[in-house]
Structure formats: structure tokens, C-alpha cells
Structure 1
Amino acid sequence: MSNVSIHSPAGTDPGVPGQGPANMKRVQVVPPKHVGRWFTGLVTAALMALLIWGVATAPNIAWDVVGEYFFNGTLMEGMRLTIVLALVALVVGVVLGTIVATMRLSSNPVLQAIASGYIAVFRGTPLLIQIIFWYNIALVVPKLTLGWPAEGLGVSVPMNTLMTPTVAAILALGLNEAAYMAEIVRGGVLSIPKGQEEAASSLGLNPKQTMWRVVLPQAVRSIIPPTGNQLIVLLKNTSLVSVIAARELLTASQQIYAQNFYTIELLIVAAFWYLAMTTVATVGQSYLERRFEYTQRSRATPFLQKLWQTATTIGRPKYMEIKA
């Protein structure tokens, strides 16, 4: 680390080593020891090492089976469906949630009541019940009829044929996610100062144009972090659709260990892939946050640059010049 000079009077050249004013003194900077941090870190590392060692040497876990099924084709297909379910449900949730949030913020009391009722129903009931309900909707609506099939105008499809496990999962996850996204979008909109709407109104924009062209684009920065959290939650909540036999990652694992009885081993593999997917989602969320948060992006130091600075200054004394 280079020397830091507080003051350079006229007649001196701070670029020349050893040259400086007579009233300046070069002292070594001694950083604090942070004994508590080191102690806490060492204790945590020791406990983690003991935990990992205990799991790795457990006699009842067949680690060779874990390695055998790590890239199993059935599990990979299940993971692909897990990702598809989460992404499609997130898109449905964002689009529908934005509409519901706009209705909730509307001055129309009818639209406000509809939006509030939607949010109350889908946030107030367990997601597992919603999944089972949509999968068994044929008990209430045996056929989906559009138009007048008897007159040759329209179609009539049995609901059991239409409502497959995948469709029921997307419908339940998407509608449930929309209720949460509506509140996230509403919170982001309310974070924008009222003056923005007044300025847009002075320019001749109506309330609808103000919402979609002025307020929502600015609210994106407040919406992105909780939306990333919702994607992580969705990736894990897809495991709930195993109750309707949708062949996502957990269902695929269950089908395999129901045949070979390696229950713990298959659950370890499934847990690893869930952790991998949520980690990728977390990294993507962090990138989007930096991309849309301009003040943080201007102050942020690239990770590799920060790592290089730390590595090149280890063990080197730090100095600064002060007035004697």
C-alpha cells in the first residue's frame, strides 16, 4: 500500500521518496487486531468441520450411491421441470401481480375491492391446498365449455384431460405468486415520491400513463430484490407439487428411492441440486440489483480487484505522514 500524505506544502515534491516538509512525520499505521472476529471464525470453522466430518463418515449413508445418482437422467429431467415451473410461475406472478397492484392503487373502489379480495384469498390459504384444489377442479367443473358446442360453435374439453399435474402446478404457483407480487409492486410504487406523479400530471399525462411510464419504471429498483427472493422461494415451493405427482425434482427422487430404498442418499442429491439452483438465482439477483442501483454500482469494487488488493497487501506495513 502506498504512503498517504495529508499535506504537501509548496516547494516540496511528494513524488520523490524521502522528500517532505520538516514538520511532517512518517508513522506506521497499526490496524486493530479484531481478536473476537478471529475467535468466532475459528470456532465456527471447527464446528462446521466436525459437522461435515460426521456426515461424511456416517456409516448408514452410502456415498457411492449419492455419486451414482448425481447426474441421473430422471433427476435431471425433474430439475428441468422444476426450473420451468418456477420461471413460468414467476412470469405469471409478475404480470398478473402488476395488474392486481394497479387495481389496488386505483381510485375505483370496485377495482380496489376485487384486488384486495384476490390478495386476501391467495395469500391467506396454504399453497398446498391450492395445488390440490386446482388438480381436483374436475370435481367441481367436469368440462370446460367455450361457445355453443351443441350448435357447432365452440369446444367442450373434459377437465381431467386439460388439468394435468404440470398445468395444475403452474396455475397454483402462478396465481399464488401473483398475490405476493401485487404487494411487492404496490410497495415499490408507494416508495416513489408523490412529486413524480404531480410532475407527470403537469406535463399532461393521465393517471394511467403516469403509472406505466413514470412511476413503475422508477419502482423497478425497489421491486427487484424481493422479486429475486420470490424466485428462490418458488424454486423450493415446486417441491410441494409432488403431492399431485408432477415429475419435478423431488417427485423424481421419490420415485427412485421407492424402488431402491436409498431414501437418504436420493434426498441428499435432491437437496444439493435445490441448493445449486437457489445459489444461481441469488447470484443473478445480486447482478440485477447492481445493474439497476446506479449509486451502488459506481461505488462497487470488482470482486477480483478487491481480492488482488487484499492478497498484495498482506504482511506489508502501512504508513502515513502527519504533522509533527
Structure 2
Amino acid sequence: MAAFLLVVLGCFWGLLQGAENLGYSWHWTRVPRYLYKITDEGWQAGPLLQGLWLTLEITVVSLLLSLVIGLLTALMRLSRSPMAKGIAWVYLEAIRNTPLLIQIFIIYFVFAPILDLGRFSSAVLALSLFEGAYASEIIRAGILAIPLGQWEASASLGLKPPQIYRFIILPQAIRQMIPPLTSQGISLIKDSALVSTIAIYDLTMQGQQIVAETFLTFEIWFTVAAIYLLVTTLLSLLVRYLESLFSVQ
């Protein structure tokens, strides 16, 4: 952690020196108004915190949907149906071998008008499909990590495959899947910055808007980066806690 902080401070110092060489004039005192404001009605969130809230909204909804998509895809890959395996393979190859930005554009400009989807729904769908492809591999690996004896013992009790997954396999696999899935959630937060390209006023888009209006380029982008860093660091600490918790158990 100390080394990480030193690297961050070193980068920050280098950027400050570069801005100073460019003759940039700093105006940090103008930044707080874009984070919060105090009015007669009390404390209110500024544009950046409003954007952060929308970013977290998109992240949470996309994460839940990606888990559902990932579970279904993993089960399709593990099934005996050639058609199910084929559909899952095509989906995984198409998603993992194309950039997320292109996927967002295709969903928003091609499929959204057909399906009557708004910007928020298009962004959630694109992120869910993208992250679901990676979540499916995590879930599949967790399922395959369960010893074969568990499957055989479950079958000998007369349980059907859906019951085996529900009552025996998934409860055990979840312990191994939670830490990497939480890490995937961290990646989702960072990937969500791309939804600003379709005019969704998330944290990144709010930052762009403020920079265009005020020309506080360095101050605003440093602040936006710090907010992302704070959120992802907190989630990283959660991942470490979960890993230590499950390793003890």
C-alpha cells in the first residue's frame, strides 16, 4: 500500500510539474461547487456526485443482469445439448473479441430503435452482455471445481440436474466465485465510463460537461479520477476481505 501511494504521489507531482511548465493556472477552489452545494434547503449533490450516483446505478443493475447472463451461459456450456453449447460459444466469441465501445454503439444505434430502448437501457444491456461473458467463465470454473464425488453422490440420491445445481453444486461453488466476481464488478465500474459516449450523464460525462463550460481541465479530471479511485479501492478492500474470509473457512 505504501508503494502504491508513493507511485500515485509521484505521478501527481509529475502532472503538476507538467501543468506548471505549460503555464496552467490552478483553480482548485472552484471544484467543491461541482461536488456539493449548500442552499437554504440544505445540502445538495453537485453534478459530479449526481454523475457518480448514476454510474453506481448503471453498475449495480448491469452487475445483477450480467450474473444472470453469466450463469445461464455457463450452464449452457456445461449442458449436453450441442445447440446450447453452440449458442454459448458464439456469444462468448462475439463479445470477448470485439471492443466494448463498438458493442455500445451497435446496441444503441442499431438495436435500440428496433427494441425501443432508451439510453440507460441500452447502456445496461451493453455492459451486461459484455461483463456476462466474463462472469460465465468465472461461474463455469467455480462449478467445475466441485469434486466429481459430489455429483455422483447427488445422483445416487435420485436428485435431478436442476436440483443438484440448486441444492448441492451452486451453494459450494459460490464460495469460490464471490471474490473474482467482485473483482469483475470493479472492472464494470471502470468500463461504465464508456456509456458517456451515448450522452448518458454519468460521472465521466458530467466531467466532460464541466470542463467544456469552465475549462478547468486538470482540476476536474483529477477529481473524477480520484472519485473512481476511491470507489474501486473500497471495492478492492472488500475483495481482499472476502478472499481472507473464505480462505479461513
Tell me the TM-score range normalised by the shorter chain: 0.7 to 0.9
Task: Calculate percent identity across the aligned residue pairs.
Answer: 40
Structure 1 or 2: more strand by fraction:
1
Q: Give the greater-gyration-radius structure (CA).
A: 1
The separation in 2 between residues aligned to 1:252 and 1:44, in whole angstroms, is: 28
Q: Is residue 111 from structure 1 mapped to residue 84 from structure 2 by the alignment?
A: yes
- TM-score when normalising by structure 2: 0.85
- The letter for the 2-side match of 1:65 is R
The separation in 2 between residues aligned to 1:134 and 1:97, in whole angstroms, is: 19
Q: 2:155 corresponds to which residue?
A: 201
Q: 2:30 corresponds to which residue?
A: 65
Q: Contact conserved, 1:235 with 1:278, CA < 8 A, in 2? A: yes
Gaps of 5+ in 2: 37-44
Q: Contact conserved, 1:93 with 1:181, CA < 8 A, in 2? A: yes
Query: What is the Cα deviation at residue 286 of structure 1?
Result: 2.7
The separation in 1 between residues aligned to 2:214 and 2:128, in whole angstroms, is: 34
- The letter for the 1-side match of 2:192 is T
Q: Which has the higher contact order (CA 8 A, sep 6+)?
A: 1
Q: CA, structure 1 residues 54+176, in 2 after alignment: closer, same or farther (shift >3 Å)? A: closer
Q: 1:212 corresponds to which residue?
A: 166
The separation in 2 between residues aligned to 1:238 and 1:192, in whole angstroms, is: 33
Gaps of 5+ in 1: 1-40, 145-158, 298-324
Query: What is the Cα deviation at residue 66 of structure 1?
Result: 3.7
- TM-score when normalising by structure 1: 0.66
Question: Matched residue of 2:29: which SS?
Answer: helix
The separation in 1 between residues aligned to 2:6 and 2:140, in whole angstroms, is: 45
Structure 1 or 2: more helix by fraction:
2
Query: What is the Cα deviation at residue 229 of structure 1?
Result: 1.2
Q: 2:39 corresponds to which residue?
A: none
Q: 1:78 corresponds to which residue?
A: 51
Q: Which runs of 4+ in 1 moved over 2 A?
A: 43-72, 141-144, 283-291
The separation in 2 between residues aligned to 1:96 and 1:44, in whole angstroms, is: 35
**CA-to-aligned-CA distance 1:101-136 (integer Å, 9 cap, x gap):** 011101111111111111111112111011111111
Question: Matched residue of 1:246: which SS?
Answer: coil
Q: Contact conserved, 1:221 with 1:289, CA < 8 A, in 2? A: no
Q: Is residue 180 from structure 1 mapped to residue 134 from structure 2 by the alignment?
A: yes
Q: 1:273 corresponds to which residue?
A: 227
Q: Contact conserved, 2:35 with 2:46, CA < 8 A, in 1? A: no
More off after superposition, 129-138 vs 183-192: 129-138
Question: Matched residue of 1:209: which SS?
Answer: helix
